[in-house]
């Protein structure tokens, strides 16, 4: 905060403001500055040998390296495959083979960037698990009681313990496996009806488990959690008469639950969340037949990202609520693409989607790259009144853009993507008058919304006479100060 001189206190204080970050991103003193971007999707083929890409599942480690498990169909068999760019270039490995291995595979990485995969052994009807935590790939059969292991979903908790949800096809139940107690334990979570298909598991900040699945008997989206200490079951949505296909669940920073799924009556992509305290359901996309093979993730700003298939035209689609309402767009429209999509975010909240190209039987990866970035915000006084005419300069890597606040106190500057290097320092200079300058800084990231600092005057702007009133008030104070000095000299 700028400290004004004694004599010109009334004028300078009215024009000075602080750029230092507030105590929190959502400080009530003003609107936070945000960086928004527009851009396009970059598509690459990461595996193309044979018939590959079914059941793709993507995870990104702490070094922003990508890990994907998927199915290879060489003919009369299925092999569980794994591919990663952790070594600098894409390298694939066959994890399990012999019969029909790898269907419904799901992947996650632990705090040491070790990989964990759950999958279905279709030959024997078993739930299987693979990990490279010991230095090389090791596979094991976890549950072999009946026909179990379809629709698996895996997550690793903060203690690197593994949690898996899956479907018991023999009893038509939702099951759950974990080694959190030291050895593998198996629980039937939901047996109310034909429930457990399309299971998706998430873990909150307390390492409590949340699972969504499809209730086939009642045509409903089901939800289970042990957050209260024991398993609690509920129906989230059955409004269409057949909701819950392709469910995918994610947990935000406040431990609120977000689920995307397919409405098999209206053929729409739907979304449910309890972020408001109770379950609220929204139709995200209703373009023809849309919403199968969907996947969900949430970034560090609790913005939701969804990938899914537009079945009518066999295109990969993407939806986000980054702008405050749902926006949808096409990612890849070349051939028959978008099935088995899996979405994930790296440490900079960049969006990646793994999926199958069914025309060429390839595994593909799409990621979003920015064309431009804009920094915008409001300059106001401590009472929330806007300041017009303040010059705001923003600099990154030697490139400076300038804008002057309008009558609402708003400013915006835009940078080309080439000038926006992730990790670079953003310098801000706010000039409200001659000699009245404060500075602030932030770090450039590649998020959809980047919260920076509020621009807020530390004093309330006088409302009498506008800027003329400020000049008169300043002159009066200066004259008074001068008079005091003269009196002291006498």
105-118 pLDDT tens trace: 999 999 999 999 99
CATH of domain 40-372: 2.120.10.10
- Region 54-73 average pLDDT: 97
Dist CA 291 CA 285 (whole Å): 7
List the beta strands (DSSP E) in 110-194.
115-121, 126-131, 138-143, 148-156, 162-168, 173-178, 185-190
In this predicted structure, the answer to whether residue 46 has a pLDDT above a threshold of 70 is: yes
Q: 47: part of which helix (H) or strand (E)?
A: strand 34-47
CA-wise closest residue to 302 among 421, 451, 422, 445: 451
pLDDT in tens, 139-191: 999 999 999 999 999 999 999 999 999 999 999 999 999 999 999 999 999 99
In this predicted structure, the answer to whether residue 431 has a pLDDT above a threshold of 90 is: no
Q: What is the pTM of this model?
A: 0.74
Cβ neighbors of 79 (< 8 A, separation 6 or more) are 71, 72, 73, 94, 96, 97, 101, 102
How many Cα atoms occupy the beta-carbon half-sphere of 102 within 13 Å?
Answer: 27
Write out the residue limits of the CATH 2.120.10.10 domain(s) in the chain.
40-372
In this predicted structure, the answer to whether residue 399 has a pLDDT above a threshold of 80 is: yes
**Secondary structure class of 375 (helix, strand, coil):** strand
Specify the CATH architecture of the domain 17-37+373-458: Sandwich (2.60)
pLDDT in tens, 374-383: 777 787 777 8
- Give the per-residue pLDDT at 413: 82
Look at 220 and 390; give whichever has higher pLDDT: 220
Residue 472 falls in which region: left (phi positive, over 0), alpha (psi -120 to 50) or beta: alpha
Look at 347 and 45; give whichever has higher pLDDT: 45
Which of 221-235, 277-291, 408-422, 458-472 comes out lowest in average pLDDT?
Answer: 458-472
Write out the residue limits of the CATH 2.60.40.10 domain(s) in the chain.
17-37+373-458
Dist CA 480 CA 490 (whole Å): 16
């Amino acid at each position: 905060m700028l400290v004004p001189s004694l004599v010109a206190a009334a004028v300078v204080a009215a024009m000075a403001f602080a750029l230092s970050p507030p105590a929190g991103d959502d400080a009530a003193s003003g609107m936070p500055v945000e960086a928004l971007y527009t851009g396009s999707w970059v598509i690459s083929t990461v595996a193309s040998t044979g018939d590959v890409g079914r059941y793709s599942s993507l995870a990104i480690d702490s070094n922003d390296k990508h890990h994907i498990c998927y199915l290879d169909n060489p003919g009369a068999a299925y092999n569980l495959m794994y591919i990663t760019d952790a070594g600098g270039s894409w390298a694939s490995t066959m994890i399990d083979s012999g019969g029909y291995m790898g269907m419904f595979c799901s992947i996650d990485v632990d705090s040491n960037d070790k990989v964990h995969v759950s999958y279905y052994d279709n030959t024997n009807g078993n739930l299987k698990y693979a990990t490279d935590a010991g230095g090389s790939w090791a596979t094991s059969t976890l549950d072999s009681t009946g026909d179990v292991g379809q629709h698996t979903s895996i997550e690793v908790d903060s203690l690197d313990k593994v949690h898996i949800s899956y479907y018991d096809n023999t009893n038509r139940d939702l099951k759950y496996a974990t080694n959190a107690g030291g050895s593998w334990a198996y629980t039937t979570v939901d047996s109310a009806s034909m429930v457990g298909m399309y299971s998706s598991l998430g873990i909150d900040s307390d390492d409590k488990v949340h699972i969504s699945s499809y209730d086939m008997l009642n045509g409903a989206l089901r939800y289970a959690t042990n957050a209260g200490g024991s398993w609690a079951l509920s129906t989230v949505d059955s409004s269409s008469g057949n909701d819950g296909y392709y469910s995918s669940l994610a947990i935000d920073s406040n431990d609120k639950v977000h689920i995307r799924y397919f409405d098999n009556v209206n053929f729409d992509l739907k979304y449910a969340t309890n972020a408001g305290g109770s379950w609220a359901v929204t139709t995200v996309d209703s373009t023809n037949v849309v919403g199968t093979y969907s996947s969900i993730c949430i970034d560090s700003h609790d913005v939701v990202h969804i990938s899914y298939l537009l079945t009518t035209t066999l295109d990969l689609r993407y939806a986000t609520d980054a702008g405050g309402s749902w926006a949808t767009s096409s990612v890849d429209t070349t051939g028959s693409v978008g099935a088995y999509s899996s979405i994930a975010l790296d440490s900079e909240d960049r969006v990646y989607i793994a999926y199958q190209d069914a025309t060429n039987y390839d595994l593909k990866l799409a990621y979003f790259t920015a064309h431009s970035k804009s920094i915008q915000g409001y300059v106001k006084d401590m009472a929330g009144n806007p300041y017009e005419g303040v010059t705001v300069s923003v600099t990154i890597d030697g490139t400076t853009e300038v804008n002057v606040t309008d009558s609402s106190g708003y400013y915006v500057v835009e940078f080309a993507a080439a000038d926006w290097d992730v990790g670079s320092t953003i310098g801000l200079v706010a000039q409200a008058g001659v000699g009245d300058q404060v500075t602030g800084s932030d770090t450039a990231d590649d998020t959809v919304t980047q919260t920076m600092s509020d621009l807020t005057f530390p004093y309330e702007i006088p409302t009498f006479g506008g800027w003329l009133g400020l000049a008169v008030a300043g002159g009066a104070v200066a004259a008074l100060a001068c008079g005091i000095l003269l009196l002291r000299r006498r």
